[in-house]
Homo-oligomer: A and B are copies of this chain.
Amino acid sequence: MKQEKTEFLGIPSFSSPAASGRGQVAVPERWLMRQLLRSLGDPPIRVRFWDGAEIEPVPGAARTTVVIHDRLALWRLIRHPMLHFGDDYSLGRIDVEGDLVEFLDTVFRHRPRMRSSGPTRRQLLERLQRVRRNTLRGSRENIHHHYDIGNSFYRLWLDHEMQYTCAYFPAADMSLEAAQLAKLDHICRKLQLKPGETVVEAGCGWGGLARHMARYYGVKVKAYNISTEQVAYARERVAQEGLADRVEYVLDDYRTIDGEYDAFVSVGMLEHVGTEHYHILGGVIDRVLKPGGRGLLHSIGRNHAQPMSAWAERRIFPGAYPPTLREMMMIFEPYELSVLDVENLRLHYARTLEHWLERYEAQLREVEQMFDAAFVRAWRLYLASSIASFTSGCLQLFQVLFTRPQHNALPWSRAYLYRDPLHKE
């Protein structure tokens, strides 16, 4: 069972450090590492090789150190840094001394800005490598890879409502539980849900938003998801909570949504749709939204188009791609949907992830019993690098509220979103 799970992540097991040979780090190896650091914008970090030799691009400024334990790890890092840093960190052939989040944030902040508006040669190559397309079948496989690891694993470190998306902290020191509920309310208020209305949700996770909307806003919800584990959990829980007459969970792809609804909502699914399918998603929304309907998309995004980190895309989120706002608009513009409000909650996702990482670290023994050491390290790296991506501005979190173009029954200002006690602090 344990070994299976690591293979599931897909990290190939290589020869052991001892077998790959160590000896002293050679002059050309040091030179190549310097070139790599230069291409990363010479971040103020320290690199230590297996023989104790060190490189510091900004002498005296480093607060964190990356340790490369053997020659094979070095050569792999030089060949494809984005992929192999992750894999060899997971395998324990690369370590970080000092705070892992700080190390990653430092590296991300110093990366040179990509000036071109189009993809670079490296990006094009990386795109070619990405073969996990989000067709109907591809999406099932991609989603299975991440979300079907096991509900018991996610239950170790998520909140009670199993919200695996950015929380909303009206006050920065709020608990995760409170902030996840605040997120659910923030979305429901933006959508101006009224009792008796109907809502369709695309990609419902463990079903927390659907239950929240039904319970507190009196709406009927049809919620779609292709993760079998998540839907099984959601169905069990909605029955326990006596909401089964108002919430229906459908184990199917968003492309099959039909019917007519007052509201369309999707939280954390767009990252798995792929820009090549945005016109299909827009068409689904256009097909099912009533004339007075409102919609909300909540998604991780970017300031500038670039592929997902190769490691995260291969090992963690196959087929995922966080879009820019420009790309997101491809969903709305062909159907003349009217964007009313975009809110960027980037720092809220960093805070959410800090909570998750803290809970995760407190459950390491449990995680290691479920999986193995490489899995434990891989998921630590994934959570830590996600924090650093949001704090360094590499990732954004966009909530986009939209309506039909001629829907004029709108609040005069957004003040109604901020009248609850949470925002009074």
Contacts and interface: CB of A to CB of B under 8 A. Distances in A.
A196 B93 CA distance: 52
A406 B392 contact: yes
Given A114-B336, A325-B329, A347-B410, 15 more contacts: A113-B336, A117-B333, A171-B412, A303-B337, A303-B339, A303-B405, A324-B329, A325-B339, A326-B326, A326-B330, A326-B333, A329-B329, A339-B344, A340-B343, A417-B418
A122 interface: no
A338 B393 contact: yes
Contacts of A329: 324-326, 329
A415 B423 contact: yes
Contacts of A170: 412-413, 415
A163 to B, nearest CB: 18
A424 to B, nearest CB: 8
Nearest to A420: B415
A412 B169 contact: yes
A362 to B, nearest CB: 25
Interface in A42-96: none
A211 interface: no
A303 B392 CA distance: 31
A121 interface: no
A208 B335 CA distance: 37
A341 B346 CA distance: 11
A172 to B, nearest CB: 5
A304 B341 contact: no
Contacts of A423: 413, 415
Nearest to A173: B412
B117 A334 contact: yes
A396 B330 contact: no
A230 interface: no
Q: Give the interface size class of chain A.
A: 35 or more
A415 B413 contact: no
Interface string A331-364: 0111111111111101110000000000000000
A338 B346 contact: yes
Contacts of A415: 170, 418, 423
A304 B334 contact: yes
Contacts of A396: 338-339
20 contacts: A113-B335, A117-B330, A169-B412, A170-B413, A171-B412, A303-B337, A303-B338, A303-B339, A304-B336, A325-B329, A325-B339, A326-B329, A336-B393, A340-B344, A341-B342, A342-B342, A343-B414, A393-B404, A415-B418, A417-B418
A115 interface: yes
A407 B347 CA distance: 10
A129 interface: no
Interface string A300-335: 000111000000000000000000111001101111
Interface string A387-425: 000011110100000001111101011110110000100
Contacts of A394: 405
Interface in A368-382: none
Contacts of A335: 113
Nearest to A334: B117
A415 B416 CA distance: 10
A212 interface: no
Contact of A338 (B168, B343, B344, B410): B344
The residue in A348, A392, A414 that gathers the most chain B C-beta atoms within 10 A of its C-beta is: A414
Contact of A414 (B303, B334, B418): B418
B336 A339 contact: no
Contacts of A145: none
